């Protein structure tokens, strides 16, 4: 979800690799990237279905996740493991839902629990489904990017519905090799045009502001502006580090 889908101000959350503009630079980056291609499928799957359900539910407080629909990853895509009642959908993102300039794009250790509210389940989560099906079918990173870009241009995938948000409050998440769990936070998705001012209208990325605007990634064809709001506790109620 994925989705995943995460940064600090400008860099730290996803530890972005710079967008590259020349073929030589691209080839050099390919050699230095620690995960240049997809690993074997088994490395991305969790053998214990219940463990994945439990991990997915750590994305949000139990008052939300205990009543959410829960998906688990199978060999051909996500499958419904639990049918919820509150409109939320919890799942565990894998690495291919990262930005296309991220050096952990194929890192099989990535496990990012995320819980989408109903609007995001309808209009943001389909991007995770789309990317996951392509990854599991053997598509390369560039093929996934090109197919996703084309689907957005053809309006086969929607812009985020108003009110789209997600919880990422799991202290056992593994975002990537650089930052592991980062901060407990919620994410807010807005149509890209509404974030075109680089978050100025939100007061994002200013001293003392709790709102972080994701401006780091240059290869992110999804039509949304993404804002992060760190919170003071993990989903289990224990204190979380603040920015």
Domain range for 45:
23-230
Query: What confidence tier does 196 reach under pLDDT thresholds 50, 70, 90?
Result: low
Q: How far apart are CA 212 and CA 196, in angstroms?
A: 14
Question: Residue 29: in which H helix or E strand, if any?
Answer: helix 23-32
Residue 12 in domain: no
Residue 14 in domain: no
- Of all residues in the chain, the percent with pLDDT exceeding 90 is 67
pLDDT of residue 17: 31
194 DSSP assignment: G
pLDDT in tens, 64-121: 999 999 999 999 999 999 999 999 999 999 999 999 989 999 999 999 999 999 999 9
In angstroms, the Cα distances linking 115 to 5, 11, 93, 177, 240 are 12, 23, 10, 22, 18
Tell me the β-bridge partners of 213: 227
Residue 67 in domain: yes
pLDDT in tens, 107-124: 999 999 999 999 999 999
Average pLDDT over residues 167-173: 97
> Cβ(222)–Cβ(190) under 8 Å?
no
pLDDT in tens, 4-50: 444 333 333 333 333 323 334 443 444 478 999 999 999 999 999 99
Q: How far apart are CA 93 and CA 37, in angstroms?
A: 18
The separation between CA 79 and the C-alpha centre of its own chain, rounded to angstroms, equals 18
Residue 243 in domain: no
pLDDT in tens, 226-238: 999 999 999 999 9
Residue 235 in domain: no
Tell me the β-bridge partners of 189: 226
Q: How far apart are CA 204 and CA 199, in angstroms?
A: 5
pLDDT of residue 153: 94
Q: In total, how many domains does the chain have?
A: 1
Which residue do the tokens 């999804």 mark? 222
Residue 218 confidence (pLDDT) above 70: no
Residue 6 in domain: no
pLDDT of residue 216: 62
Residue 91 in domain: yes
- Of all residues in the chain, the percent with pLDDT exceeding 70 is 82
pLDDT of residue 14: 39
Residue 147 in domain: yes
């Amino acid at each position: 979800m994925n989705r995943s889908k995460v940064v600090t101000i400008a860099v730290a959350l996803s530890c972005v690799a710079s967008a590259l503009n020349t073929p030589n630079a691209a080839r050099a980056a390919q050699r230095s990237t620690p995960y240049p291609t997809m690993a074997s499928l088994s490395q991305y799957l969790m053998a214990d279905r219940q463990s994945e359900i439990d991990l997915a539910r750590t994305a949000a407080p139990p008052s939300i996740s205990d009543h959410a629909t829960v998906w688990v990853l199978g060999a051909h895509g996500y499958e419904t493991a639990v049918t919820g009642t509150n409109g939320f959908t919890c799942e565990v993102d894998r690495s291919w839902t990262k930005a296309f300039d991220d050096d952990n794009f194929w890192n099989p250790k990535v496990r990012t629990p995320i819980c989408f509210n109903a609007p995001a389940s309808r209009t943001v989560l389909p991007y995770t489904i789309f990317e996951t099906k392509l990854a599991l079918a053997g598509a390369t990173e560039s093929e996934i990017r090109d197919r996703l870009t084309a689907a957005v241009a053809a309006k086969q995938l929607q812009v985020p519905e108003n009110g789209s948000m997600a919880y990422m409050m799991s202290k056992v998440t593994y975002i990537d090799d650089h930052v592991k769990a980062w901060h407990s936070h919620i994410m807010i998705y807005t149509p890209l045009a509404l974030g075109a001012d680089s978050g100025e209208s939100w007061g994002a990325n200013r001293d003392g502001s709790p709102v972080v605007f994701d401006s780091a990634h240059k290869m992110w064809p999804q039509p949304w502006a993404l804002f992060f709001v760190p919170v003071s506790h993990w989903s289990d109620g224990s204190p979380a580090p603040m920015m």
